[in-house]
Structure 1
Amino acid sequence: MDTIKVGILTCSDRASAGTYQDESGKAIEECLRRYIRNPLDIFYIVCRDELEQITKHLCAFSDEQHCDLIVTTGGTGPAKRDVTPEAMEHVCDKMLPGFGELMRQISLLSVPTAILSRQTAGVRDCSLYVNLPGKPSSIQECLEAVFPAIPYCIDLIGGAYIEANEDAITVFRPKQKSTFAIKERGKMEVAPFINSPTIPQTIQTPKKLTHLNANLHPTMVDVSHKESTIRKATACGKITMSQEAFLSVVEEKNKKGPVLQTAIIAAIMGAKKTSDLIPMCHPLLLSGIECNIKEDKESCAFWLFVEVKNQGNTGVEMEALSGVSIGLLTIYDMVKAIDKEMCISDIMLLQKSGGKSGDFVNTHIQER
């Protein structure tokens, strides 16, 4: 894993003079350490709001320390001594105004004076520069907005490969279909990797949990943009019991009534009530639920199969699994007077169809 070199420059007359302690630079470092998995080598400077000083430090971060990412805070307003954007324009080979546009858009949701901010971003050699506002709260807000584009931007200019902490933030990299980049500072070589036996781990995008947002708060996924298709899912599970309990069910001698028929009704109800039981599941209009129970005499067990179908923009896997779980629990409840050591096991998704991810068949079922 690459070590990421980061330059942090606080532009402030008062912080430089020691009138107050710089909290903004610390806020930037805290955010970056939370967002980036790689080891970080931090270069931190506080300087006055003077064009010559700021320019000198910005150049040194790139030309001498070879920083991949350089982040400034302060000096982006309209006041006479706010000259950080001017210094950026002086040292950068290319400007990236989209960063500033997004930050202003985000900040305007909180305060109307954000329209006065002139923060921007740019590139010098293999270094990405980003201006941030001065307040620690605004720093976190703006950095959270623009960071998803930072790793890929640094890829494009030949910097080190940033591996994001997906538990804290989601970054964007387009899917690599035919090439991967072997990166050295100031040089980029492209090599084919289709059917290659050795693909760098760094280009494999880890699967992320969609029920947590960037602040690690629970969220129910927005599926309004998904295409409405016919979706089907089948799940199964098993309950194993003593021979006495098994015969009481098969021979319909259980005092609580017909166990298997009741379990099927419970499975249907469980599938329909999934969104009430599982916090992040969407309420769905199910178009069909079919349940079957098979006896396993050798193991004194019953297998319950639940197939759920609907037409919508999210899958029904959880409905099938919930139906199986509730159905098997119902069998346990009705037979526990005879055998309290019954074991519910092997609850799994057998197959699903429909939706963007396509069809799925559980290939491990034959091993069980």
Structure 2
Amino acid sequence: MSSREACRIVGVNYRTGKRWRNGKKQSKWNKAAPPITAVAPPCEASRFLREDERILIADRGREKATIRQIAAELGRSPSTISRELRRNAHPVSGQYRPHAAQARADARRPRPKTGKIAATPLLRQVIQDGLDLRWSPKQIVQRLRRDFPDRPELHVVHETIYQALYVQGRGELRRELTAALRTGRALRRPRRQAQQRTPRMATPMVMISERPAEAEDRAIPGHWEGDLIIGKDKKSAIGTLVERATRYVMLVHLPHGRTADQVRDALVDTVQTLPAHLWRSLTWDQGAEMSGHARFTAATDIPVYFCDPHSPWQRGSNENTNGLLRQYFPKGTDLSVHNRAHLDAVAVQLNGRPRETLGWDTPAERMAKLLAQAS
């Protein structure tokens, strides 16, 4: 973890933790202090072979024990023992000497090492030529394996190329080659640690796990799913709302953009076209366009629930409807050219399609029944 996060867990100031980790130089007011290091005793289940284990391997090898017998005594995999004998035996005589083997292993372990791309000029040139042709790293490595099947020194994985481009200090490939990648990113932004992510929502989200159980079985109408379909260059959008019980579709007009305020105001105008008893909840994904969900709820009294990350099946009806809408609004087109009247016409067509899941009723017929019952 990062130094700042470690200091937070331990409960010390970041500057104090930095002094503990890096030591302190002598100054006019302070004495020098070495870094604080904790040497942990070797545990039984170490990842790497220890010196005492290497001594046992040498002793049992002189006794003509098999690799599997040695592995069983050490509690290691036979492949670990076989790899140790192959890597760290004497390069000339082939004899296994435990202290020399330990020295070879220690010398091999320090990082950083010279990367494979930097150590192989031909590999470096082939990769640079491929990137100049705007090939992806995966395309480059697959062609290397196909064109040079008998030269393992030219075989890498695509992550090796990304590391050579992005990791500071490696200098194995020209940094300007990142412009040839499809993303065009000059830097990678790590997103593994949740505490380092910038929250999208200023107001805490209410997750779908807290949604009423009545919404799950679709028995009671009024629970909706929502999302946006995005147009060319992500500059235009149309909002989509689907009622879970009737599959009734409503399209939200967003002619001027899809900021949080614009989406909120458009949703407020849209929900006012149906009676209040048909709006019990709204389920959305974690898109930033819904960061104004608290103000939407305050204006309409409709609670908003959010799906889990990367879980589109939690809004299955809406995802299916978005696929149907691509017949009318193809990907890569400007969606701002469609006016309110056209969106209403498209919604009428979708709501007039018979659905097998509704017993071949149409969503419009099911919605009309609900409105008749309410009146």
Q: Please give the TM-score of this superposition, normalised by the length of structure 1.
A: 0.24
The structure where strand makes up a greater share of residues is 1
Q: Between Structure 1 and Structure 2, which shows a larger proportion of helix residues?
A: 2
Higher relative contact order structure (alpha carbons within 8 Å, sequence separation ≥ 6): 1
Rg larger for: 2
Q: TM-score, normalised by structure 2?
A: 0.23
